[in-house]
Structure 1
């Protein structure tokens, strides 16, 4: 006769208990202060995390700061996306936090790399595009006149934020070839990091659920240990969804660590 009752020694019971028990505990605990904060602030850390805590330890000798798309079109009120990303950028203090990361990384003398997003006229001839590709091309986001000229680049939406230029243009920062969609599969970031003996990445920049998350995923797939700086990124808020909230969920699920700018600065001091 089939024994339909699970027992304490059953691996199936153990897995089931781990899942249902966590849910029951959270439900039975009532509305704690942390849970109340999470209800009021959808970006707050969970009051009762179910996932194991991070064990990542930063080692400056093999670490790099990687910043995706620190460009005017994303981070300035003059940029073409400000109407949809501005509220998220301001809420997270993203512009200042990215600058603080640059300062801390330069003071610690670790590798710094920037992965920019550029579109050249030939990129407008693509025969199929995703929704965001269509939008970016329509609004002229990250447009440059060509790969072999900087004519019209200074101060354009594709240019770097002015306050970041002293760090980016110091002759030491790696400026990779451009990525064309979201991840670094299409540029030389991985090669540059490997050649510099890097296997830990502190990841920040724009946009949280697009280029930043895609860089995180590819770097993880390539064997890097990745910590995302959650207040040094931001994302669009559209009827289709809150990009920052979507990314924050995935950062918690996949990154080796999710840190704040202040935590990184303290580790690098």
Structure 2
């Protein structure tokens, strides 16, 4: 009985870029004089095993080492002296009176994600799921970082983030944070429509893993189609450290 010849072909990783992409590289060049790092939802409820959404997002966060990468971006941006902004997500008691919402909105409200006791109080905020990850606080609470008013669903249309960035002379955005196919993608789309040039940091985000689909993969495909650049954390850190 003769041995059959078998040909083994390595199965490409589902997140690997295509070997021969059909789309052109937009060629974004980082200009530190007009660039900002924008980090979306760097909060406990997303990024910590103690957070209420960890069962849905933990696998992707762990796989991409998202928490460490976001920290590296904060440190590099502060060292480079560029504008840094945070777009947080908070829900107040009045928000739970909404009369309709999409599937993920329903989930966020049901698990009390990002809950605060009110818009004018910090009672119970420290260490809660709505609070920032402890390791990021030295960067966020340094008196220089823009902490925008909260966005309420996914995009920045309901907060003052775009205004704050324009007032700081920003026209280029390095975009990171949570979650890939939800708030990050929604911020990306709105920023592009407002005329910003946007690079997404692919390993400084993560997505939900559910029977309904892989949220990270869904976002990654769209990033390839619409972002001005798709960089890794290491690539961003090198660009931030480059001397003009």
TM-score (norm 2): 0.95
Does 1:59 pair with 2:31? yes
Residue of structure 1 in register with 2:149 after alignment: 177
The structure number with the bigger radius of gyration is 1
CA distance in 1, matches of 2:118, 2:84: 25
Among 159, 162, 168, the alignment partner of 1:187 is 159
Per-residue deviation, residues 172-217 of structure 1 (Å, max 9, x unmatched): 0000000000000000000000000000000000000000000000
Structure 1 residue aligned with 2:221: 249
Q: Name stretches of at least 5 consecutive residues in structure 1 with no aligned partner.
A: 1-30
Quote how far apart the aligned CAs of 1:41 are: 1.0
Indicate the residue corresponding to 1:20 in structure 2.
none
Partner residue in 2 for 1:212: 184
State the secondary structure of the residue aligned to 2:219.
helix
User: Does 2:233 correspond to 1:261?
Assistant: yes
| 1:54 CA drift (Å) | 2.9
1:15-164, aligned counterparts within 5 Å? Answer: 36=10, 39-164=11-136
Q: CA separation in 2, counterparts of 1:231 and 1:261?
A: 6
Note the alpha carbon deviations across 1:4-27, whole angstroms, 9 max, x for none.
xxxxxxxxxxxxxxxxxxxxxxxx
* Count of residues paired in the alignment: 235
Q: Which runs of 5+ in 2 are unaligned?
A: 1-6
List, as ranges, runs of 4+ consecutive aligned residues in structure 1 with deviation greater than 6 Å. none
Aligned to 1:4: none
Q: CA deviation at 1:40?
A: 3.6
Task: Indicate whether 1:166 and 2:142 are aligned.
Answer: no
Greater RCO, 1 or 2 (C-alpha within 8 Å, sep 6+): 2
Question: SS of 2:68's equivalent?
Answer: helix
Higher share in helix: 1
In 1, the alpha carbon distance for the partners of 2:63 and 2:16 equals 13
